[in-house]
Amino acid sequence: MGAIAVRDVLGDRVADLILSHVPAKRYLVATREEYSALLSPDSVMTLAAQGGPMNAEEVEAFERNPDLAAMVDLRIADDGAKIPGKVVPPLATYEDAIRKLARRTADR
């Protein structure tokens, strides 16, 4: 739903990064031993329904994506945002960047 909500405003790349949320989790569980321990109980439960950790072929295909680093970074940032009590910058901090990206997307 998030990808659909932003595609027209922020463009295909941002929407596709949002769509990578589940595959990035599956990738991280498969490639980083410590990552599983960071998942919330709900995320562990949904992982099974989402296909579990990627197998070797899926990892190889995922790693060929030119946006691999951005997908992984976004997933890790999302995980970090779930820490209760964590202080994060307000949305207004990102407003200029979001508006600039939206203008660029509209100009295409």
pLDDT by position in tens, the chain (length 108): 999 999 998 999 999 999 999 999 999 999 999 999 988 888 999 999 999 999 999 999 999 999 999 999 999 988 887 778 888 888 899 899 888 888 888 877
pLDDT at 84 (0 to 100): 82
SS (H, E, C) the chain: CHHHHHHHHHCHHHHHHHHCHHHHHHHHHHHCCCCHHHCCHHHHHHHHHCCCCCCHHHHHHHHCCCCHHHHHHHHHHHHHCCCCCCCCCCHHHHHHHHHHHHHHHHCC
CATH superfamily of 2-106: Hypothetical protein af1432 (1.10.3210.10)
Structural domain boundaries in the chain: 2-106
